[in-house]
Structure 1
Amino acid sequence: MSTRICLVRHGETAWNAERRLQGHIDIPLNETGLAQARATATSLASERFDAAYCSDLTRARQTAAAIATHCGLTPGFDAGLRERHYGGFQALTYDEARTRFPVDYRRFETRDPDFVFPEGGESLREFAGRIHTALEHIAKIHQGGTVLVVTHGGVLDIAHRLATGKHLEAPRDFTIPNAALNWIGHDGENWSLIAWAEQRHLAGALDELPNA
């Protein structure tokens, strides 16, 4: 029996608008993000979910709360669905990180899977393993069901690659807008991509990376 998972990136934050790396820093939605969360909730009002899961960071929790109100859900909070930990890059804009850590930034930009951010960050490989474990657990316990997962841009990058088989090192050629709908499936053995970056309900949304 196939399981469907609807992945939603949180709504916009002030740091998204500033192109500032958030990672594990707990930043709330801005007014645009709150409006996006409400629009996403309305767009999902006719869906029937068996369960909902959410990163425990505020920006995801606020987005999930808006959807839960419309869909009659009580999200379970899971730190395993957090954004990647960007270590010393956190709180910097992409330009500031490039200037302050030029060598490290190049490894980040080229998706070196074993590069670990300075000051306690995660490697891409470690992060992907964390997300694979979280999504596989959700698919297993809700086999044949439909599940909502509210999370972060980096998580969605990993989820898309999991569903399509795209390598971690490959440049991203798909969008990850705030508050868009992204559907993946699991048949008990394999993942598949159902639909991605549905955003008809949004007036506009920022991508997870700058200049994208």
Structure 2
Amino acid sequence: MSGSAGAGRRIVLWRHGQTSWNLERRFQGTTDIDLTETGVTQARRAARLLAALEPHAIISSDLRRTVATAAELAALTGLEVTYDEGLRETYAGVWQGLTHDEIQSRYGDEYAAWKRGEPVRRGGGELETEVADRAAPVVERSADKLPASGVLVVVSHGGAIRTTIGRLLGLEPHSWEALGGLSNCSWSVLGEGVRGWRLLEHNAGSLPEPVLGDDV
């Protein structure tokens, strides 16, 4: 997906399929919500595309929505999924189960500060940097086990993926919000470069054409 064959390891960070709380715009956090029928269909479609990358390993959050998503890719590839609670979504305390409108109404200052990139314990829960502290090392350890040009698929959650990308790219935490959100069952791809990890694709839902003439 970086456009050059044998161009180093890649990490595909794949968000889970749709849930009913996604439709209702409820903050899920670590609440364990199942996929909708549409979410299962999304996972099956995306799995067919990601299987074409011939991944070497799949790791996943242990929440039901990610377990069900990862299972679709495992069924096609024959790979065993490794589950790790370190890949769970941000714990958001009293925000969990509330819609974004309800959060803005009840915790407006806290919500606005979070959107500005300030360190906020949303609902009394985790800081984004704490999510990165637990999730990024899980991804790095798994990536370290890949062969040259190997592909790791990480099945996780929108917020956890954003903080992990920010950490792996070496971005300052206040800028992580600049990484746009992921649609259900879309993914982002990091590629190994000479100066570390590099963002190759973001919020993708199809396999891209090779990148030709990069940086020229």
Matched position secondary structure for 1:56: coil
Deviates more, 1:153-162 or 1:85-94: 153-162
Q: What are the residue-to-residue correspondences of 1:32-111 with 2, within 5 Å?
A: 32-111=38-117
**Cross-structure match for 2:137:** 133
Alignment partners' CA distance in 2, 1:189 and 1:64? 30
In 2 relative to 1, CA 162–143 (structure 1 residues): closer, same or farther, beyond 3 Å?
farther
**Cross-structure match for 1:146:** 151
Structure 1 segments of 4 or more deviating over 4 A?
none
Letter in 2 for 1:136: E
Q: Does 1:168 align with 2:177?
A: no
Shift of residue 48, structure 1, vs aligned partner? 1.4
> Contact 1:140–1:188 at 8 Å: present in 2 too?
no
TM-score by length of 1: 0.85
Letter in 2 for 1:133: P
Alignment partners' CA distance in 2, 1:188 and 1:71? 30
Letter in 1 for 2:166: R
Equivalent in 175, 185, 192 of residue 186 of structure 1: 192
Structure 2: segments with no counterpart, 5+ residues: 1-6, 208-216
Identity %: 35
Alignment partners' CA distance in 1, 2:58 and 2:198? 20
Shift of residue 173, structure 1, vs aligned partner? 4.7
Structure 1: segments with no counterpart, 5+ residues: 202-212
Shift of residue 146, structure 1, vs aligned partner? 1.3
Letter in 1 for 2:161: L
Shift of residue 192, structure 1, vs aligned partner? 1.1
TM-score by length of 2: 0.84
Q: Does 1:156 align with 2:161?
A: yes
Shift of residue 40, structure 1, vs aligned partner? 0.7
CA deviation profile, 1:162-212 (whole Å, cap 9, x unmatched): 3544432124253411111321123597211122222138xxxxxxxxxxx
